């Protein structure tokens, strides 16, 4: 694919690497053969009638990412054709942050939400980090600002601040250390203090408080996907199916978690299903995750309810292809904010080593 030279004044990434020709996206019998193996991986969750719309993008993205020396990081909530057919690395927020820190690729395409792309940029400041849709936000990240954290520090002088990864770089810059759902308790306890401010998810804070003796001061942020589950839904699921296993993300309300057989990060939940192979399971989280696990665990029946994250669903194959062709949309962070936010994220990554 030829690279098209561009004029000065365009984004850093475009002036460094140039844009490329948009590949041909026709679905032909040859393309069907070439993508048959990829389809095999998702055939139980993507109906055959939908594949011709995905296949040309799957082929084009897989070719273009090699030409660009790009790596595609995909969160566990991406749809199956992204998760199973074009991603180089998949995982929860912590795993994706670690991959971003270690990759040798020149370009990172973050298939997830904005705070994940920012975290990747913080850990790989010299790489080009792209997000296929800059509007892919997060209700938790939007619930708090840097000024809010500064005000909390004034109210609770000397109390360290632990910030969930689901926050902007501006908020991370004001905190002492970051955490994700998979290491929150460990990070809180690592500080060796009797009290911490834990931001911004009030339900995750409540969950952490139940696992530690450290006193937790929380904020009123909520995940718009997980706050909608109710304990009543889950009790109904168990009444219908007494043997069903209920596994939940810690962003759910406390009474929902009280109904769960297991609580953990998105990867923790996936591992639970793969290891235990329950006959029936409810994954109390974003819908695509059940599809992604179902594609790999044919012996497990997935009982819904689940909710869609509108922000994660902004990431689609056509937008990922655009990212690779036109090098958009590029993540940039103010250098002073980045330096302070990076220290918080690096402290978290170091603790995991």
Judged by CB under 6 A, the chain residues 221 through 260 that form the site for ligand 13P are 223, 249, 251
| CB of residue 184 to ligand 13P, shortest distance in Å | 10
Does residue 61 touch ligand SF4 according to CB under 6 A?
no
By CB under 6 A, is residue 180 in contact with ligand 13P? Answer: yes
The only residue of 74, 86, 140, 208 in contact with ligand SF4, by rule CB under 6 A: 140
Question: Which residue number, 59 or 311, has a Cβ lying nearer to ligand 13P?
Answer: 311
Is residue 329 classed as helix, strand or coil in its secondary structure? coil
> Considering CB under 6 A, how many residues would be counted as binding ligand 13P?
11
Rounded Cα gap, residues 122 and 205, in angstroms: 24
Q: How far apart are CA 90 and CA 83, in angstroms?
A: 7
Angle between helices 114-123 and 93-102 (to 10 degrees): 30
> Which residue, among 324, 313, 347, 318, has the nearest Cα to 130 in the 3D structure?
324
State the Cα–Cα distance between residues 114 and 172, nearest whole angstrom: 14
Scanning 23-31, 63-71, 120-128, 136-144 for contacts with ligand SF4 by CB under 6 A, the matching segment is 136-144
| DSSP 8-state assignment for residue 281 | E
Which of 128, 285 has the CB closer to ligand 13P? Answer: 285
To ligand SF4, the closest distance from the beta carbon of 309 in angstroms equals 3
Under 8 Å CB-to-CB from 35, ≥6 apart: which residues? Answer: 51, 55, 58, 59
181 binds ligand 13P (CB under 6 A): yes
Q: What is the DSSP letter of 23?
A: P
337 versus 348: smaller Cβ distance to ligand 13P:
348
Instruction: Map residue 228 onto helix, strand or coil.
Output: helix
Is 309 near ligand SF4 (CB under 6 A)?
A: yes
Q: Which of 64, 73, 82, 92 binds ligand 13P (CB under 6 A)?
A: 92
Chain residues in the site for ligand SF4 (CB under 6 A): 113, 138-140, 166, 223-225, 251, 286, 309, 311-312
């Amino acid at each position: 694919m030829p690279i098209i030279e561009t004029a000065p004044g365009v984004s850093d990434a475009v002036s460094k690497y140039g844009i490329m020709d948009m590949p041909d996206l026709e679905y032909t019998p040859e393309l069907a053969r070439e993508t048959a193996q990829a389809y095999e991986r998702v055939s139980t969750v993507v109906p055959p009638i939908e594949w011709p719309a995905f296949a040309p993008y799957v082929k084009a993205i897989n070719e273009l990412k090699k030409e660009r020396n790009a790596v595609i990081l995909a969160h566990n909530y991406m749809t199956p054709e992204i998760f199973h057919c074009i991603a180089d690395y998949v995982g929860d927020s912590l795993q994706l942050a670690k991959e971003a820190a270690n990759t040798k690729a020149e370009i990172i395409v973050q298939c997830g939400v904005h705070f994940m792309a920012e975290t990747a940029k913080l850990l790989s400041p010299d790489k080009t980090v792209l997000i296929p849709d800059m509007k892919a936000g997060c209700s938790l990240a939007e619930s708090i600002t840097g000024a809010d954290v500064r005000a909390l520090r004034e109210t609770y002088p000397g109390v360290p601040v632990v910030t969930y990864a689901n926050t902007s770089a501006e908020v991370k810059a004001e905190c002492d250390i970051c955490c994700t759902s998979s290491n929150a308790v460990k990070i809180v306890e690592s500080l060796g203090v009797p009290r911490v401010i834990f931001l911004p998810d009030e339900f995750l804070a409540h969950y952490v408080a139940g696992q530690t003796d450290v006193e937790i001061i929380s904020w009123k942020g909520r995940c718009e996907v997980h706050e909608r589950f109710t304990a009543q839904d889950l009790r109904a699921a168990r009444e219908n199916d007494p043997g069903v296993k209920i596994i939940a993300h810690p962003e759910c309300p406390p009474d929902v978690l009280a109904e769960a057989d297991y609580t953990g990060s998105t990867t923790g939940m996936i591992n639970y299903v793969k290891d235990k192979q329950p006959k029936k399971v409810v994954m109390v989280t974003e819908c695509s995750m059940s599809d992604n696990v179902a594609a790999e665990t044919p012996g497990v029946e997935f009982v819904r309810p689940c909710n869609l994250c509108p922000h994660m669903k902004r990431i689609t194959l056509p937008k990922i292809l655009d990212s690779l062709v036109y090098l958009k949309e590029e993540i940039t962070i103010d250098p002073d904010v980045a330096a302070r936010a990076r220290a918080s994220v690096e402290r978290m990554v170091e603790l995991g080593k």
